[in-house]
Amino acid sequence: MVVANATTGIASPLKCALSLSQGFQGSTRRLQWRKNERQCVRKAGQGVITAKFDLKPPPYPLDALEPHMSRETFEYHWGKHHRTYVDNLNKQIAGTELDGMTLEDIVVVTYNKGDLLPPFNNAAQVWNHDFFWESMKPSGGGKPAGELLDLINRDFGSFEEFVKEFKTAAATQFGSGWAWLVYKANRLEVGNAENPLPSDEDKKLVVVKSPNAVNPLVWDYFPLLTVDVWEHAYYLDYQNRRPDYLSIFMEKLVSWEAVSSRLDSAKARATEREREEERKKNEEEENGTANSEAVEMYLESDDAVSD
Amino acid sequence: MALRHLLTKNTLATQPLGILGFRRVQTFSLPDLPYDYGALEPAISGEIMQLHHQKHHQTYITNYNKALEQLDDAMTKGDASTVVKLQSAIKFNGGGHVNHSIFWKNLAPIREGGGEPPKGSLGWAIDNNFGSLEALIQKMNADGAALQGSGWVWLGVDKELNSLVVETTGNQDPLVTKGPSLVPLLGIDVWEHAYYLQYKNVRPDYLKNIWKVMNWKYASEVYAKEFPES
């Protein structure tokens, strides 16, 4: 959630540039990210719009998922870890170009095609944890229904097969990270490749896993469900027994309502995106501004020129 | 062709190679700790030491042995893509075994010298490379705290340059992945399982306290072996 505080006066445009320099400390490669402080300093009295992210509470009391996920876990996981990501993110973006952007946009921009900028870890982890709390509910688990179940059956063979694949991904994400169910709409595995003949069959549910703070937004997928497999997520309740944690998560905690509603909005956004791309393509054709083809010269007579 | 014998304490199922005899893969087992689980308290709790040793380290060994067996099988069959596919499992689990074996030796109870600062050539080298022991500790703690996700922070020596380095590695990557001539002297595990039950999210407190049980004697021995005093 973004809270904007506007002080009196007219807001002057933010001209903060992100200046990056890569420095070497010893033999460890570090990205040194300097805020262009001079351009970002605001004198008193001038209008400033600042945006700050809040620590959103889970949509249930901290003890509501007992005994499967303890209150104590929430006190640390939400109260300390998540809170620290929020606080540090706000500090990092204050007075910069990122200030005022949506959280999702900050995540994608600072992912920087894999060459992570410093705010990425905090931004992505804020987003990931918001998404994670909302993926669970008291008396959760069970099976999905309706269109979600149909798609799961279609894309995984059966609900049981999906559960197996999801738990395997989560169990084999080495080190820290997340496992996801995502809706993949016409996006190929390679970042800059375009699907030449998109069809409805390309839109499917897929299980993916990601390390540390990475999430599927950076791959242009629509996340539907996640489980946190950083050790801090389960260590107090399950110690090293990650597979037990994952089984309980699936059987007792998943909020299929949340997943279904995310699927609905994912499909709507995918359709909207298709329409937008179609519209842009048509516009380009009409204006004759093809990307890689030679520019066609039009005669004043408006007659269509055909090859 | 010569017969190949790889003798091991724990033998896996053997694969007869026709008339050439048997082929066995060297397997690994959990090394004993040179101290009781509770001996490093209060710096590191006995509960953590037991889980860390008996569960986490053991699991790396179990999975490493499994991966090696699969690797051996794939190599024998000439199955190149399986050989390549197994590399990450070998790195994860083998690295986990290598790193933790060093870690247990890096720690010692206070009554057995844990926390006693290094003397001799290593002490001198630390002052030379970092200014002081305090400066080194500060750097390792800062780097360890800043590490995102899971990994290790190391004090190492570059064999070729005879210089000390502080490095971090992610997941279970051994120090040698940062440089082929790097030899680990001390490693601090900053995976959350190494401290969470006791320190929760406050990794900096764990890093501050672990120096009280740091076994500088071991580090000095490794250093002296690389650079024997003339």
Q: Would you state the pLDDT for residue B24? A: 73
DSSP code at position B114: T
DSSP three-state, residue B108:
coil
Among left, alpha and beta (phi > 0; psi -120 to 50; other), residue A86 is alpha
> How far is B188 from B39, CA to CA, in rounded Å?
18
> How far is A78 from A130, CA to CA, in rounded Å?
9
pLDDT at residue A47 greater than cutoff 80: no
SS3 content of chain B, % helix, strand, coil (to 5): 55, 15, 30
> How far is B77 from B158, CA to CA, in rounded Å?
39
Residue contact B171–A174, C-beta within 8 A: yes
pTM for this entry: 0.83
The pair of three-digit structure tokens given for residue A64, joined into one six-digit string: 């509501």
Q: Would you state the pLDDT for residue A196? A: 72
Q: Best interface-test mutation with A: which of B147, B192, B193 has the largest number of A CBs within 10 A?
A: B192
> How far is B26 from B101, CA to CA, in rounded Å?
17
Among A197-201, B31-35, B186-190, name the one with the lowest average pLDDT. Answer: A197-201
For the beta sheet containing B182-189, the strands, ordered from the edge strand earlier in sequence to the opposite edge, are B163-170, B151-158, B182-189
> Around Cβ A119, how many Cβ atoms within 10 Å?
21
How sure is the predictor about A294, in pLDDT bands with cuts at 50, 70 and 90? low
> Around Cβ B129, how many Cβ atoms within 10 Å?
17
> How far is B213 from A1, CA to CA, in rounded Å?
45
* Arithmetic mean of pLDDT over chain A: 83
* Chain A hits for B203, Cβ within 8 Å: none
**Is B200 near chain A, with CB under 8 Å?**
yes
How sure is the predictor about B3, in pLDDT bands with cuts at 50, 70 and 90? very low
When pLDDT is averaged across residues A18-41 and rounded to a whole number, the result is 39
DSSP three-state, residue B198:
helix
pLDDT at residue B37 greater than cutoff 90: yes
Q: Would you state the pLDDT for residue A166? A: 98
**Is B196 near chain A, with CB under 8 Å?**
yes
Q: C-alpha distances in angstroms, A203 versus A163, A199, A269, B33, B85?
A: 20, 7, 12, 53, 28
Q: Would you state the pLDDT for residue A154? A: 96
> Around Cβ B203, how many Cβ atoms within 10 Å?
19
Residue contact A232–B92, C-beta within 8 A: no
How sure is the predictor about B12, in pLDDT bands with cuts at 50, 70 and 90? very low
Q: Would you state the pLDDT for residue A21? A: 40
User: Closest chain A residue to B153 measured between Cα atoms?
Assistant: A28
Residue A209 pairs in a beta bridge with A179
Q: Which helix (H) or strand (E) holds B175?
A: none
Q: Would you state the pLDDT for residue A281? A: 81
* Chain B hits for A81, Cβ within 8 Å: 201
How sure is the predictor about A191, in pLDDT bands with cuts at 50, 70 and 90? low
Task: Tell me: is residue B57 an annotated ligand-binding position.
Answer: no
Q: Would you state the pLDDT for residue A3? A: 41
How sure is the predictor about A222, in pLDDT bands with cuts at 50, 70 and 90? very high
When pLDDT is averaged across residues B212-218 and rounded to a whole number, the result is 98
Q: C-alpha distances in angstroms, B96 versus A60, A154, B61?
A: 38, 39, 8
Q: Would you state the pLDDT for residue A300? A: 60
Q: Best interface-test mutation with B: which of A121, A174, A229, A234 has the largest number of B CBs within 10 A?
A: A174
Q: Would you state the pLDDT for residue A295? A: 53
E-assigned strands of chain B?
Answer: 15-16, 22-23, 151-158, 163-170, 182-189
| Main-chain phi, psi angles of A301, to 5 degrees | -75, -5
Task: Tell me: is residue B143 an annotated ligand-binding position.
Answer: no
Q: Are A40 and A96 in contact (CB under 8 A)?
A: yes
DSSP code at position B31: P
Percent of chain B surpassing pLDDT 70: 89
Residue contact B201–A81, C-beta within 8 A: yes
Q: How far is A142 from chain B (nearest CA, A)?
A: 30
| Main-chain phi, psi angles of A77, to 5 degrees | -65, -50
When pLDDT is averaged across residues B25-53 and rounded to a whole number, the result is 97
Model confidence pLDDT, tens digit, residues A136-179: 999 999 999 999 999 999 999 999 999 999 999 999 999 999 99
**Residue of B149, B168, B171 lying closest to A28 (CB–CB):** B168
Percent of chain B surpassing pLDDT 90: 86
When pLDDT is averaged across residues A86-108 and rounded to a whole number, the result is 96
Task: Tell me: is residue B97 an annotated ligand-binding position.
Answer: no
Angle, to 10 degrees, between the axis of helix A159-171 and the axis of helix A146-156?
70
Radius of gyration of chain B from its Cα atoms, rounded to whole angstroms: 20
User: Closest chain A residue to B129 measured between Cα atoms?
Assistant: A26
Q: Would you state the pLDDT for residue A14? A: 39
User: Closest chain B residue to A122 measured between Cα atoms?
Assistant: B148
How sure is the predictor about A275, in pLDDT bands with cuts at 50, 70 and 90? confident
